[in-house]
Amino acid sequence: MTDIFSETKKSILKISKKFNLNENAVEKFLEPARVLEVKIPVKLKNGQTKVFQGFRSQHNNKLGPYKGGIRFHPQVTKEEVMALSLWMSLKCAVADLPYGGAKGGVIVDPKTLSERELEDLSRGYARAIYDVIGADRDVPAPDVNTNPKIMSWMVDEYVKISKEKKVQIPENILYATFTGKPDKDHGLAGRTEATGFGGVVVLKELVQRLGLKSENQMVAVQGFGNVGLYFAQFAADNGFKVVAVSDSKGAITEKNHQFKALDIPLVLKCKKEKGMVSGCYCVGGVCDLSKGRPLTNEELLELPVDILVPSALENVINKKNMTKIKAKIIIEMANGPVSYEAYEYLTKKGVVIVPDILANAGGVTGSYIEWKQNIENKKYKKEETLKMIEGIMELAFDNIWNEAINLKTHLKEASTVHALKKLLV
115: domain CATH number?
3.40.50.10860
User: 304 and 255 in one domain?
Assistant: yes
pLDDT at 314: 85
Residues 215 and 99 in one domain: no
Is 320 one of the catalytic residues? no
Residue span of the structural domain in which 225 resides: 194-359
Single out the residue in 123, 148, 175 at which a domain terminates. 175
The answer as to whether 18 is a domain residue is no
Residues 59 and 109 in one domain: yes
Catalytic residue among 9, 91, 103, 204: 103
Q: Which CATH number covers residue 245?
A: 3.40.50.720
pLDDT tens track for 152-206: 999 999 999 999 999 999 999 999 999 999 999 999 999 999 999 999 999 999 9
- Provide the domain count of the chain: 2
- 236 and 343 belong to one structural domain: yes
- 168 and 233 both lie in a single domain: no
Residue 405 placed within a domain: no
Show pLDDT as tens, one digit a residue, over the chain (425 residues).
457 899 889 999 999 999 999 999 999 999 999 999 999 999 999 999 999 999 999 999 999 999 999 999 999 999 999 999 999 999 999 999 999 999 999 999 999 999 999 999 999 999 999 999 999 999 999 998 999 999 999 999 999 999 999 999 999 999 999 999 999 999 999 999 999 999 999 999 999 999 999 999 999 999 998 899 999 999 999 999 999 999 999 999 998 778 999 999 999 999 999 999 999 999 999 999 999 999 999 999 999 999 999 998 888 999 999 999 999 999 999 988 999 899 999 999 999 999 999 999 999 999 999 999 999 999 999 999 999 999 999 999 999 999 999 999 999 999 999 999 999 96
Instruction: Using a cut of 0.85, tell me whether the model's pTM lies above it.
Output: yes
Q: Tell me, letter by letter, the H, E, C secondary structure of the chain.
A: CCCHHHHHHHHHHHHHHHCCCCHHHHHHHHCCCEEEEEEEEEECCCCCEEEEEEEEEEEECCCCCEEEEEEEECCCCHHHHHHHHHHHHHHHHHCCCCCCEEEEEEECCHHHCCHHHHHHHHHHHHHHHHHHCECCCEEEEECCCCCHHHHHHHHHHHHHHHHHCCCCCCHHHHHCCCCCCCCCCCCCCCCCCHHHHHHHHHHHHHHHHCCCCHHHCEEEEECCCHHHHHHHHHHHHCCCEEEEEEECCEEEEECCCCCCCCCHHHHHHHHHHHCCCCCCCEECCEECHHHEEEECHHHHHCCCCCEEEECCCCCCECCCCHHHCCCCEEECCCCCCECHHHHHHHHHCCCEEECHHHHCCHHHHHHHHHHHHHHHCCCCCHHHHHHHHHHHHHHHHHHHHHHHHHHCCCHHHHHHHHHHHHHHC
Task: Look at residue 2 in the predicted model and tell me its pLDDT.
Answer: 54
Domain co-membership, 121 together with 255 = no
Would you state the pLDDT for residue 313? 84
Residue 309 falls inside a structural domain: yes
Q: Are residues 207 and 354 in the same domain?
A: yes
Of the residues 338, 359, 380, the one at which a domain ends: 359
